[in-house]
């Protein structure tokens, strides 16, 4: 009996630890475009600085999720604000919103399929 209870608890732990902690709302390009027009939303591009300079959504702030200072840079952001997060394909933005959620950010939106979806919908980019 003890072994079966332990097995059930171990299985439950594994299932919950493998699930994403993301509290982000996943949006398609049209929904994301609408979201970032709201005055209280900060657009966050989590791609590399090189990718950002090649073209980004107007008004976006660049903080590279794979850069060494990502954690310290998001620690300086206001956790009470809303953030719309994107990358190239959606993989890195999910990593970013997971990290942000784990540190107390609650109002997060994620661009599903990233800037690729944005461009496929003929939405504009700016260069820096």
Which of 24, 63, 87, 100 is flagged as catalytic? 87
Q: Give the up-direction half-sphere exposure of residue 24: CA atoms within 13 A in the CB hemisphere.
A: 28
- Are the beta carbons of 109 and 41 closer than 8 angstroms? yes
**Which sign does the torsion angle of CA 116, 118, 120, 124 carry?**
negative
Domain 21-120, CATH homologous superfamily name and number = Rhodanese-like domain (3.40.250.10)
Per-residue pLDDT of 19-38, as tens digits, reads 445 578 999 999 999 999 99
Residue 87 annotated as catalytic: yes
Query: What pLDDT sits at residue 23?
Result: 73
What's the count of helices (H) and strands (E) in the chain, helices before strands?
6, 5
Q: Where are the domains of the chain?
A: 21-120
Cα 35 from Cα 107, distance rounded (Å): 12
Per-residue pLDDT of 37-72, as tens digits, reads 999 999 999 999 999 999 999 999 999 999 999 999
Stretch 113-119: mean pLDDT: 97
Q: Which residues contact 112 (CB under 8 A, 6 or more apart)?
A: 26, 27, 28, 90
Cα 113 from Cα 116, distance rounded (Å): 6
């Amino acid at each position: 009996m003890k072994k079966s209870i332990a097995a059930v608890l171990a299985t439950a732990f594994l299932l919950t630890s493998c699930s994403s902690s993301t509290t982000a709302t996943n949006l398609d390009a049209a929904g994301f475009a609408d979201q970032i027009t709201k005055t209280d939303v900060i657009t966050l591009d989590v791609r590399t600085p090189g990718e950002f300079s090649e073209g980004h959504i107007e008004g976006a702030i660049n903080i590279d999720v794979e850069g060494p200072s990502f954690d310290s840079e998001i620690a300086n952001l206001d956790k009470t604000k809303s953030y719309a997060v994107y990358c190239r394909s959606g993989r890195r933005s999910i990593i970013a919103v997971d990290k942000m959620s784990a540190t107390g950010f609650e109002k997060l939106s994620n661009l599903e399929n990233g800037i690729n979806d944005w461009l496929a919908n003929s939405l504009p980019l700016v260069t820096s």
